[in-house]
Each structure stands twice: as structure tokens, then as C-alpha cells.
Structure 1
Amino acid sequence: MTDLLIHDAIVVTMNQENQILKNGSVRVTDGVISSVRATEPGDRDSAAGRVIDASEKVVMPGLIDAHRHTDFALVQGLFSELGGGELLKEAFALYHTAEPTLGDSFFEAAWRLACLRQLTHGVTTVNAMDFTPGLGAEAIGESGLRAVIGSELADVLDPASADDQLATARRFIETYHDTYEGRVTASIAPGGEAGCSRRLWEGVAELRADYPDLRLHTHLYDSAEADTMAAGSGADDPLDLLDRYGLLDERTLLTHLLHADRSDARRIADAGAHVLHCPTVYSYFRAGERTWFPLPALQEFGANVAIGLDDPFWFDSWDLVREAKHARLLSNFEYGAQQWSSYDLLRMLTIDAARALGLNDRVGSLEPGKRADVVVVDIDTPRHRPYSNLPSVLTNTVTAGDIETVIVDGEVLMEERTVESMDVESVRTAAARERERLQARTGWETSLAGSTPPDESILRRVSARPLLRALRQYGRGIVHQHGW
């Protein structure tokens, strides 16, 4: 018996033929899509376990956030008005305070809030690298979402920690890979050429050999000094660094690439590696002060590109649809109009992202045999009608607020904007409590008008040794993302 039937929908399949059904139905049995076809009269009176009337609405694959960090989701709004340098200093101080004094409850609340926000924004799969991956795996699994998660590795300021970090990553893989009915899988996540010692890279190569099916998820070329940083590990440049350790192939995910050039793009494409592009966070804090990633060359050589939100709490947006729009606008500004078509952007948010994560045999398109990760988008409103060119509507005018129903593995997690898989009030209560604890311990002042860092000097709040520890553990996540 069909468990779930969605009927009378505009079905954007994202299959190889780019098929769009004007009036279609999607059937789901045991979490798997059993058919995608034109709606028949009997569908409206179906005896399926759950029936969703999607008349005049769009049904499409769930969105995939291809790169993100989650640990500090509760800091949203604190840093939004700061410049890059000031943000860096305050982030170090905040991280140093939060880690030893707030404990797991702070990060548990952050992960649960992140899951709620992803769910309500139509993100059904996330690819994360974080310092609290176990908490993340449990939060993702319990929320009903899907994720690839890696324990972030960065030891450059404390090389003695390399073996401990590698052991932690191995334990995470052994404990959480392929759990929660296969919705949670593990990755290997070295921070990048700037954050990892030679010993750590050797250990990453050992992990890769022991777990050959896992994705390697890292940052590359996000600093103008990338070649110099790679030289510290005995390589000519960051791609050579990965290649020397056997880490550059079709299972490799490379994030940012702001300072990569045409020859780098060719090498990436030739290796079959995937590119994870996060445009907003760079343009928000340091617009105009760096080169843009080599999109024309990546397109010319056929590299697969997906889109991620990175740290959405820095710039106060969890909307992956708008992130795709920003990617188009910023690339057009840099290189000229029509760098990406609307359908290109939709693919980057769905099937191309699934291919990057090695999940394209399971999710990313609506086809029989795939897991039923589905979102319903309400475009039957004055904001959108009348329209033509549906892909353009979905990428230029739709926002995450138009997503009303979210399904993962055939389970309805949210219907008509009512969340069913999470206790929303408990998530909000825990987040508010931990946010208050954070502010009380750090001295941050917040109001409806904004946020103010503590008056006390960073040099008095954080001594040199703890600051280095904070940089190794948490600050690295800021440095490698923003090139400071």
C-alpha cells in the first residue's frame, strides 16, 4: 500500500531530462519513491496512508546545504555589525569563554536550533564539519533530517594534538557512520592547508585508506597565502598537498577556492573533485578586498559545483534559495551576465549537491527508486502569479518562507508550515536559555537595536595560552573561512 501520495502538483523532477510535470503525482512506499507520473482522477480519492493535495504548488527534491558549520548557531546577531578584524577578535574571546564554561548543553541547543531552522527552510540534507559532531549526529538523527558530518581537524597551533584529534575522528566514524536508518553518514574533514600539520595530513590519509567510501571535506585556497601554507607541509601548493597524500579524487569536496586560478580549476576538474561555493559570507564581511572564485574556468573544464551557507549565523540568513540567488548575482557582477541559468542553480541545490556528497543514487531528484526527500513550495500567491519560466521563479522570487511541507525518507517532518518531527517550543526554550547563559558569561549586551561586545579588553579576558587553544579548537573555523 502507498504510504504517501502527493497529487495535482507541478513536479520539478531534476532528473536527467530536466522533466517538469504540469499536473503530477508522487507516490512513496517504505520511504522510497515508487512512481512519478501525471495525476489520475483516482489519486484525489486515494486510500494512501497520507495524501497531500498540492494543487498549483511545486513539488521538488529537498534542498541540500553543501557546506556548513553549526557549533555556534546561538551567536546569531552578535557579530552582524562588526568588521572582519573586530569579528575575529571577539569570536576568539567568545569561543574561549563558551567552550569551558557552557558545556554540552550550549552546543546541544545550538544543533537543535540549527536543525529546526534547516527544516523550516526546506533543507533536507546538510554537509557539516564541526567540533561537536557527535552532538550534531544525534540532533540531525532525532529531527528526521539527513546529513554528512565530519569531525573538523585543525592542529597547526598545537601539533601535539594531532593524534588525539585523529582518534576522535575515528571514534566518530565508528560510532555514527550510517546510523539513523542511513540518514547520518560520516566524512573526513581536515580544516585545510592553513590549519593542518604534516602529521595531521598523514593521519587523514590513513583514515582515508581505512574508510575509502567516505568523502574528504576540506577548505582550499581561501587565502592569498595558500601556496605558502601548503609549503609548510612539503607541497608546492594546496592541490599538490592533497595529491601527495592520495586525497584528490572524485570523493573530495573543496570549499571556497577564492584564490584558485585557471590551472587549479583544470586540475580539480581532471581529478573529478567537487567544489562547494559559499558566496554570501565573503561578500558580507570583506566585499571588494579579494578575488572571486574561478567560476568561468570551473565551468569550462566541467567541475561539479554545489552551494553551501557556511556559517549562516554570521550574516543572519538560513535561506539556501537566497544563497543561490546571491551566487548568481555576485558571479554576474564579477564575470558578466548569465554565468548560471536558473536551472543550473536548481541543480546545484539538489542533484549536483547530492552528487558531490555521493548521495545521488539516493536523493537529489524525484525518480522511482530514490529515497523520498521532498519539499512542497507554495507559489500560488500574488507574490508569484502570474508567471512563466518556473525555474526563474524558484530561484529569483521564491524564498524559504514559501516552503510549506518537508518530507525526508518518506516521513512528513513539516506540513503546511507546522513542524511535526521536533518539539519547537523545547528547542526555542533551550536556545533562549543557553543564549542568556552565553551573554551572562561573556558580557555581551543585546537589545532590539543591536549587540555590543564587552567593554573589557580582549587581552584581559583571554590570556595568550587559552587564546591559542581557542584558535586551534574554534577560531580556526573563522580564519579558514574568511582568510584573516
Structure 2
Amino acid sequence: MIDASGKVVIPGLIDAHRHTDFTLVQGLFSELGGGELLEEALALYHTAESTLGDSFFEAAWQLACLRQLTHGVTTVNAMDFTPALGAEAIGESGLRGVIGPELADFLTPASADDQLTAARRFIETHHDTYEGRVTASIAPGGEAGCSRRLWEGVAELRADYPELRLHTHLYDSAEADTMAAGSGADDPLDLLDRYGLLDERTLLTHLLHADRDDARRIADAGAHVLHCPTVYSYFQAGERTWFPLPALQRFGANVVIGLDDPFWFDSWDLVQEAKHARLLSNFEYGAQRWSSYDLLRMLTIDAARALGLDDRVGSVEPGKRADLVVIDVDTPRHQPYSNLPSVLTNTVTAGDIETVVVDGEVLVEDRAVESMDVERVREAATRQRERLQAHTGWETSLGGSTPPDGSILRRVSARPLLRAMKQYGRGVVTRHTW
């Protein structure tokens, strides 16, 4: 029995788009510009991958699970380069997760065929494990990172595993049409459509440079939109700083919320992300784009529908899997109130989350994590973070962080990145290009 007197019980929160395995770099990049950040982050990732080994990424996944639990996130939809480690971490922590190996042969040294083989192996090994709490997805990185051969292989995977979600980035660059042309398509949506990848099982992330016609095509296909507002407002990435929300709403597309990569904004609070989504959309398009209740649905049942889990989670009702969160609103910071959805989306933060239940199991009780060894996770994270800094030369203090002299990018092979740029006729990598 859980005493929730004077408190609020809502379905567990669902983070609809997450990159997880670089969790340990929090704060390193916060003061960099967007282009410089991405250059340094890609290079640093390859450094960690080649020199620090699985222990670095294991610690990252464990810390991510701990943070998700303490922020009331019960389900995460992740796209990562270390999915097997993620499946184990999510499963052992008691969380629910949809995980796809990120397929991007222009961004990593592995060939398209090798990545596709690994993805198939991951699906066969990890899909529908941990009593069904861990499931697989097919996760091509997007029009910018994938060759034509890789898209062909993704289509083959989709045909062989039709029950899986396809999770990808789309239109997050002003050059999206040009990049799609490299695979023989008119634009990114045409690229997906040509390979039979655009339907109600498709999850499209960002859409920063999509337009009204794109929104209509997405809605007509029944695809779902994963909106990550904060990272783009933080760096004002591109001339267009927002995605076509009014058109997506006009045509009835399902739009839900994700936190994206922790190295961008260092954020884990999904409720605050929804609040930012509303504030930024109001700033761009005018007030009352979303009601408070709309935002709660986006974080719960609408996100569950996007992931194909709405028959199991996303609402508190008989017959579902008992993923829920107890929130303490019986405090002077919240009382008195009259509009409960407004309280939950405007003033509640992760610190108000008292109890977290997944699949009927209590994972957090009275704000204490029960399903993980918190001190062991923190010690491993600290140790691996210190290894990263010692190896790369990043200096940190309470006042910020300082990259090593000279770009890390010059000391790590960037051949996959250069190959991607040449594929699309843009010549060389320059600062602020990405």
C-alpha cells in the first residue's frame, strides 16, 4: 500500500527521444557555441570509445538510469551506439525502455553492413526482454548520417521486424534536402517513403527545418513527431529556430516531448522540458498553443501511443502495467491551487516526485531509490569522468570547464565526417558547419 493522501498520482513520464551513453560529460560543453560543441563532442566520443572502453559507457548508462528514476521518467526511447549496455542497465534498474542501435555509417568507422548486422543481433538478443520492459527499435541516424546502402538495409530490417518502431532524426539541418538527394530522394520524407519507412510506426525527431507541406505529409502518414525544444533554443541552431508546430497541430500529427542528448543541455527534467516547449511555442507563434492538460498527455499517453505501448502504459487504469509517479503537491510552494494540470506543468519539478513505480514494482519510495545502489553508481561515474578528463586534457572547476589547447578534432580521425561532407558536395568540415 502506498499512502498518497494529499498527493497526485499520474502515469509514469515517458522521455520520447534520448541519446544516453554520453551522460558523463555533463557541463563540459555548456558554454560552447553549437557548432564548436558538436565538433568537440563527436571527437570526444570517439576518444572515449577507442581508449576508455565499456566501463566508461556502463557508468554512463547506470548514471542515466539513476537520474531518470529520480526525475519520474519510467520509460525512455533511446538511440545510442552502445545499446546492449543500455538494455542491461535499463532492465536491471527496473525501468522500461525502447532502445535502438544508432545506425550512421557517415559518422562512425563501421561500415553499413557491419552496423546492420550488429543491429539485427541486438534485436534478436534484447528485444522483449526483462519481462517485456526492454524492447528494440530500428534507429537510423537520419538523412545526414546514412548512406544509400544503409537505408536499403534499414528497409530490410523493417520488413523482417514489422512490429518495431523506426526512430530517426529528420530535417534538423538546413541542408536536409541536399543530404536526402545523396540517397536518390527528393527530400527526407521522400527518402523514407521510397523505402517504405513512413507510416504509423515511424518516429521523427526534431523537424527544425520542415515546412507546412512536410507537416501535412507526416500527419497523413500517421507518423509521430518527437519534439526536443530546449537544445535548439539554447544554441539557436540554424536560421529557423523552431519547427512547424501550427501546421503539425492543424493536420493532427501526434507531437510528444524528448530531452535529446545530455551533452547539449545537461537536462533530465522532463516536466520542465514540457514547460519550455509551451513557453517557446508561445513566444514563436502566440499564446495557448498547448493547454496544461495537453502537455500532461504528451508526456504520458500520447508518448505511449508513439512508442506503441499505449495498451500497456501511459494512463492509470485497470489492466495496464502500473507505471506511475506520486507527486507531493501538499506544500507551501504549491498550495493553495485550483488548476491541477497547471500546477503539474508550471510549478512542479523533479524534487516534488516522491514515489516511482514501474510494472507494479516500487523503484523509488519517499524519494529514496530502491532498485539501484546509488553510492556505487555515483562512485563509478566519478571515477570514469576523471579518467576521461585525464586522458583528454579537459580541465574543470566549479566555475566551468576548459577544452585542451587546440581542437580535439585534429587529434581524432574525422574521416567518417569528411566522407559524409564530400558525399553531399560541401568540401571540408569548418567550424559552425554542423
Asked if TM exceeds 0.5, the reply is yes
Candidates 85, 90, 93, aligned match of 1:135? 85
Larger % of strand: which? Answer: 1
**Paired AA for residue 144 in structure 1:** G
The match for 1:150 is: 100
Q: How far did residue 156 of structure 1 move?
A: 2.7
CA distance in 2, matches of 1:210, 1:229: 27
**Paired AA for residue 384 in structure 1:** H
Unaligned runs of 5+ in 2: 422-428
CA distance in 2, matches of 1:397, 1:283: 21
1:171 aligns with 2:115: no
The match for 2:380 is: 430
Q: How far did residue 271 of structure 1 move?
A: 0.6
**Paired AA for residue 222 in structure 1:** D
Whether the 8 Å contact between 2:18 and 2:259 is mirrored in structure 1 is yes
Task: Deviation per CA, 1:182-221: give whole Å up to 9, x if none.
Answer: 0000000000111111111110000000000000000011
Pair member with larger Rg: 1
Equivalent residues in 2 for 1:51-450 (5 A)? 51-156=1-106, 161-286=111-236, 289-450=239-400
Task: Deviation per CA, 1:334-355: give whole Å up to 9, x if none.
Answer: 1000000000000000000000
- TM (norm. structure 2) is 0.95
CA distance in 1, matches of 2:39, 2:177: 25
CA distance in 2, matches of 1:483, 1:110: 28
CA distance in 1, matches of 2:39, 2:433: 14
- TM (norm. structure 1) is 0.85
Unaligned runs of 5+ in 1: 1-50, 472-478
CA distance in 2, matches of 1:368, 1:167: 40
**Paired AA for residue 207 in structure 2:** L
Task: Deviation per CA, 1:18-54: give whole Å up to 9, x if none.
Answer: xxxxxxxxxxxxxxxxxxxxxxxxxxxxxxxxx1111
Whether the 8 Å contact between 1:157 and 1:468 is mirrored in structure 2 is no
CA distance in 2, matches of 1:85, 1:459: 12
Whether the 8 Å contact between 1:281 and 1:312 is mirrored in structure 2 is no
CA distance in 2, matches of 1:160, 1:449: 38
Pair 1:470–1:273, CA change in 2 (3 A): closer
Whether the 8 Å contact between 1:93 and 1:467 is mirrored in structure 2 is no
CA distance in 2, matches of 1:191, 1:278: 16
The match for 2:411 is: 461
Task: Deviation per CA, 1:421-479: give whole Å up to 9, x if none.
Answer: 000000001000000000000000011111110114436523554876999xxxxxxx9
Q: How far did residue 157 of structure 1 move?
A: 5.8
**Paired AA for residue 132 in structure 2:** G
CA distance in 2, matches of 1:376, 1:92: 38
How many residues of Structure 1 are paired with residues of Structure 2 in the alignment?
Answer: 425
CA distance in 2, matches of 1:404, 1:339: 30
Task: Deviation per CA, 1:133-159: give whole Å up to 9, x if none.
Answer: 000000000000000000000013679
For residue 29 of structure 2, give the secondary structure of its aligned residue in structure 1: coil
**Paired AA for residue 66 in structure 1:** A
Task: Deviation per CA, 1:269-290: give whole Å up to 9, x if none.
Answer: 1111000000001111126842
Q: How far did residue 316 of structure 1 move?
A: 2.0
CA distance in 2, matches of 1:157, 1:316: 23
Pair 1:464–1:220, CA change in 2 (3 A): closer
Whether the 8 Å contact between 2:9 and 2:326 is mirrored in structure 1 is yes
CA distance in 1, matches of 2:188, 2:227: 17
**Paired AA for residue 203 in structure 1:** G
Whether the 8 Å contact between 2:70 and 2:367 is mirrored in structure 1 is yes
Whether the 8 Å contact between 1:159 and 1:197 is mirrored in structure 2 is no
Superposed CA RMSD in Å reads 1.9
Pair 1:463–1:239, CA change in 2 (3 A): closer
CA distance in 1, matches of 2:288, 2:303: 21
**Paired AA for residue 330 in structure 2:** D
Q: How far did residue 225 of structure 1 move?
A: 1.0
The match for 1:23 is: none
